[in-house]
Structure 1
Amino acid sequence: MTSTSEPGDAPLDPDLSAITSERRQLINVAYRLLGSLAEAEDVVQETYARWYAMSPQQREAVESPGAWLTKVASRVCLDVLRSAGVRRERYVGEWVPEPLPDRTEWANGPAGGATADPADRVTLDESVSMAFLVVLESMTPAQRVTFILHDVFRYSFAEVAEIVGRTPAACRRLASSARGRLRESQATATPADRRAGIVRDFKRAWEAKDIDALVGILDPDATAVGDGGGLVSAHLHPVRGGERIARYFVELADKAPGLTILERTVNGQPGLVVQQDGVTGTVVAFDFTGDRISRIWGVRNPEKLRPWTAC
């Protein structure tokens, strides 16, 4: 299996250097598979624990440590995904993937340096956009693992087959059906610079509590989903329809005067961060149909906002 690691500071032990340099690759794979940075970090810890549980002789026999680590991490993720459905059935309200900030916008650079920055560990591209991750949530565990490893990380179907316990031909079919799901979910592409302008217009209309302006920015069939995880107040069910969403956002502004709304990058896409007294309480991600917003995800679960609030 091909490894695409990036070398870091070389420790004295060359074996340790080779192993620890794979951490970013493993986090990138695990976050895309799980939609949670916290779970991805747990998977990587488990993967390293399994590596060091082997005897020195067993480790020396591994031809490609990077490939071995990715294979183990992917299998751990597969187990997590198989149990995630049950756990998320018990989740209070809607479940939304954990949002990630842009490197330059994350909590003004916390103590501990860049190694603590999730944007330093996860490459922010289209494969971590909120819209992309939400579609991945609708896939079976085997389908998701196959698609991510083959289509995003370019591993062969033979390599993926060893991980998911299917034949290469079956993996090829899984990837094809996953692509079909993505195509069905994709609307007319909106240029990146236009997305930023639409989000800016939404921010201004929200701050002005201008329902008519918000309705004009929202697709008539738009959907808004809030994730509070049962830990904070959040709408437990999606809000559907442009006018209903516009009124809902204006009501939020009325109930919490003094909100500060900031334009920020969320999972590599234009988004908003809502703060009260300097504390981040909500991160908002968007998807678009043409020149209008078609989907909104508002994350309020404090556990998912740690990268945005740490300092």
Structure 2
Amino acid sequence: MNMHSKFLLFLSGCFLFLWSASYLAADIAVRFPTSNTALLNDRPQDFYMYVDRNFEGQKSQPWQAGAYGFTRTLVRTQAGPVATKFHEGIDIKPLKRDAAGVPLDDVHPVAGGIVVHASANPAHSNYGRYVVIEHWLKDGPLYSLYAHLASVNCREGDQVGTGNVIGRLGYSGAGLNKTRAHLHLELCLKLQDNFQPWYDSLKMGTPNRHGNYNGLNLAGFDAAPVLIHCKDGEEFSLSRHISSLPVQYVVRVPSTGKIPSLVKNYPFLLKPGPSQPKSWEISFTGPGVPTSVTPSAEPCSEPAVIRAVPHPFSQLYRTCNRVSGSSKEPRLTASGKRYIRLIFMGTEP
């Protein structure tokens, strides 16, 4: 079968997937995972857990560092102080503690789904004890991740709803204490269905105990606007939300005749283009969430950044160190090349 036939077959499969998915899945209303809903009352300082900060001798506890995005590790630039460390989730404060200050807040799924990973050993990840739930929407699978749990009350394969308790808010994981106990929540896309070969190629020296639900394979977007959007029962559209995210850079990748599992799982990402593409153009948000994949007739020999949004400081500070240089001459870093390889590694023809 030639490349043209394969591509047409893939497109037909995408349409079939979307048609069948409309019967098997539906858009969902995403709920708050704990009793803390202060975000709805315009009190973000009561919703997000602060971070202890010491910048140029000034100590502070900014709640903003508990929000999603580039909110941590300030550096001084010509444009002023810039937060350079990316925080992939949102950190939700506890509302209830016992006399010793131990949090008592139960954690619920944000929507109905299936538990695909439950890591009960806090030493196995910087997340500490964490749970991942898969939710099937019309546009493909959405993953919710709940980290730093004090306990895990579910197992892989459990079918759960918003009335179930999947764990208790805590402070397991790296760098936390009882005072800063919180729930770290992420809403994510899964990048790769065959994650292990890529992980093995890193030669990190530590085993991957989390399969495809390792945090490196889950691209998180901001959960806060989704929670606010769904506050009155409004349904969440994954395709509409991802398409609305701001693009920071675009990477052109050689076509090898293989279809990324990312596109198979999320057909809405695929944009119109030639039926025999010589490359793929993938648009990313600054944190690395893919927003579109476009077939292209432009040839290339290796992955390269073809566009980047200008900033008054290095692209490194807005791309999780995956793109360097200015917007006029952006370049993939070693980390950026590994990230692109993750998306394309292990795909099926």
Q: What's the TM-score bracket when you normalise by the shorter of the two chains?
A: under 0.3
Greater fraction of residues in helix? 1
If asked which structure has higher relative contact order (CA below 8 Å, sep 6+), I would say 1
**TM-score, normalisation: structure 1:** 0.28
